[in-house]
């Protein structure tokens, strides 16, 4: 069962963004980044109160993704990334990004907090950060 409403073009957009942001971290890295993306569509809190679709999430500004803002969101989605995106749309979650709304690639270690949000772990080059459940219960809800 899908946890967010999507069309085939939404699946492609999500897959493109996952590839642009985390291709270098392999499939699990793209799935973790994609968890953040799906969570942003599901969240009704913090910077994401007006984000309800994949397209709004992908092109959010300010506060969106570096790949879109800096111009390396140009590669097409391959079948592999579309398959991964569909897993996330169907509700699969991957540690450490299960409930994360942010990730970034630091030069060194992951900080304990980033803009007041707690670090949930690192997968390869990216650190993931999630809000407290009391601040953003919609992210922690069951599917």
Q: Which of 82, 79, 41, 44 is nearest to 58 (CA)?
A: 41
CATH superfamily of 8-140: Cell wall hydrolase SleB, domain 1 (1.10.10.2520)
Q: Cα–Cα distance between 15 and 17 in angstroms, integer?
A: 5
Domain boundaries, the chain: 8-140
What is the pLDDT at residue 24? 96
pLDDT of residue 143: 56
CB 81 within 8 A of CB 15: yes
At residue 43, the 3 state secondary structure works out as coil
Which residues of the chain carry a pLDDT beneath 70?
A: 142-143
Q: What is the DSSP pairing of strand 117-123 with strand 113-114?
A: antiparallel
pTM of the model: 0.96
35 in Cβ contact with 129 (< 8 Å):
no
Q: Which pLDDT value is given to residue 71? A: 79
Q: What is the pLDDT of residue 70?
A: 86
Q: What is the pLDDT of residues 48-70, one digit of tens each?
A: 999 999 999 999 998 889 999 88
């Amino acid at each position: 069962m899908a946890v967010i409403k999507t069309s085939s073009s939404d699946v492609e957009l999500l897959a493109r963004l996952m590839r642009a942001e985390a291709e270098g971290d392999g499939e699990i890295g793209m799935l973790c980044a994609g968890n953040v993306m799906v969570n942003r569509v599901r969240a009704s809190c913090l910077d994401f109160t007006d984000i309800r679709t994949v397209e709004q999430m992908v092109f959010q500004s300010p506060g969106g993704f570096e790949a879109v803002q800096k111009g390396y969101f140009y590669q097409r989605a391959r079948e592999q990334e579309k398959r991964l995106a569909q897993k996330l749309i169907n509700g699969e979650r991957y540690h450490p990004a299960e409930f994360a709304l942010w990730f970034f690639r630091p030069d060194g270690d992951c900080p304990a907090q980033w803009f007041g949000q707690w670090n949930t772990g690192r997968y390869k080059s990216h650190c993931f950060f999630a809000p407290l459940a009391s601040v953003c219960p919609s992210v922690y809800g069951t599917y």
